[in-house]
Structure 1
C-alpha cells in the first residue's frame, strides 16, 4: 500500500477467498505529523461527517476541544477555550483551526465522529518555543527584542514577565489596564512595541545578580499570558579594579551558602592558573641552577683526584710494599731503575727490599745490577 491517507486507517484481513478463512488481522493507523512554533496557527482538514468533534487523545480517552453539528450548509463552532474551532463549508470539508499555539499544546489529536468519538483522522502536533540567551554584568543593562506577526497580534498588548515556578510575574506591560494575574513592579525596566515592524523591545537597567532567571515576551489578554519568546538572562558579579572579587561586603552571602557566579569562577581560575605557572617556572629555574652548581663541584673534585693520581705515579713504592713500573721495548736493552720514596724508617739496621716482578724484567738481560742501600739515620722525606 503506497500513498497512504488518513482515510486508509482501519482493520485489514489476510484471508483465503475460496473459504473466507481469516489468516491474520492488521490494524492500520495513518496519522499526520505537524510541526509548529509558538503563536503559530494549526489548520487541519477532516473528512465530512454530520457530527464531528476535535479532541485530544489521553490515557483516559479523548478530551473534546470543539464539536459541530451540521444542520445547514455553513456553520462554525468555537471551543470553550476560544483557541480551537471547526468550520464547515459547502464543499463538504471540515476545517479545524487552533490559534496561539503553545508548547503545552503538543500532543495527539483526533478528528472524531460524534457521538462515540470514533477516530477518523489522527494528527500528531509538536510545538516548539523560540528562545534567547543574554549575559550581563552587575549594574549593567540589557536590551531584548521579540518579533511577532503584525496581522495577527499587532493590536494585542505585550508584556514582559519573569518566570516564577508555574507562574510568570509581569514586570512591565504596554496595556494601560492592570495586567491579569500576578504583577510585580520593577524600576529600570522599559518596554516599547513597534507595531509597524512587529518588534517588542525590552530594556533592563541597573541589573543585579538576583535578576538572573527566565523571562517571557508575552501577549497580554484578559484570558492570561501567551508566550511569544523565552529569554534566559544571566547576571554576573562585576570584579573590582584589582581584578579580585570583593568578599568583605559579601560575607553574609557566603555564610548563607550562595555560590559564586560562573563568570567570577572563571576569573578566579585564570588568576590561580597564572600564579601556579609562575611558581612552576621559578621551581624549574632553581633546579637548573642547582644542577649547574653540582656539575661544577663534580668537575673540581675530578681535577683534584687526577692531580693526586699523577703525584702517586711519580712516587716510588712505600716501605714494605712492592714497587712496580711499566717496561717497554727500549727498557729491555738497559738496566731497570726503580725510585723509592721513603717517608719514614723505624731503624737503620733493618734491611730494605725491592722486588721486581717477572713482567717488568727484560726477557734477555745482558747484565744485572744490584743496589744496596743503607741509611745512617731515618730520612724525613724525599726521593732517592
Structure 2
C-alpha cells in the first residue's frame, strides 16, 4: 500500500483529554508553502466522513464555542473549542486545502471526561522575559504518574525525556515522584523559544504556549503575545527551520540539543 504523504505535511497532537465544561486549544502546524492556503477543522472517524466545522475564512464571533486563527509567520493555525460536552468527544482533523491535489491533513482524538484529566498544567500560557527563564509545571496523575514524562516542541519530533536528558544548561526537567509534577525550566529565553510545546505521558499530550516578552533590563523589544489562548500565536522571529534536524535523536550534548530544539519547528 502506498504511503499517504498528505498525512506528513500537517502535524498536530494525537490524544487530548478535557474535563467536561472545559476548553482546549489545538495547534496545527503546516509547511511554509501552505501559508496562503485555506485551512480548516473537521470531524469524522475517517477522512472520507469528515464534516467541516470551521475554516480560516469563517466569520469571527465573540464567545463562539469554536474559533480558528492562522499564524502565517509561525506556520501554525489553532482551533479553540469551548464548553466541551460528552457529545464533543471524537476524532478531529486539521487540514490545509490544496487546490491542485489532495488536501493535507492530520487527525487527533479528543475525549471529554467528567473529572480532571490525568495530565494537567497550572495554566495554558507561560511567560518569561528575554534573557530570563520560564517554568512550566505539568501534573501527571493516575496511570501517568509513574510513567515516562516528556516535554516536546509542538510540530516536531524533538522531545526531552525526564530522567534521561533532564539537566542541560538551557533546559531542565525535574520530576517529583510523590506528586507527579514535572517542572520544565527554560533559561536564557530568546524570541525563538516562543511557541507551542506539549507535555506528554504515554498516549496523552497537553499543549501549552510559551511567550517571551521584554528583557529584565527593558532593552529588548517585546515579542507579540497572545491575549488569550485562542490561536493568537506570537513568535514572529522567523527562526531557522532546518529540515535536516527533523530526525535528530535527543542526546545529552547540550549544544546539539539546544540548536535542534530552538531552530526546528517541524515533525
TM class, shorter-length: 0.3 to 0.5
Find the structure with the greater CA-based Rg.
1
Q: Give the TM-score taking structure 1 as reference length.
A: 0.27
More helix by share: 1
Q: Give the TM-score taking structure 2 as reference length.
A: 0.37
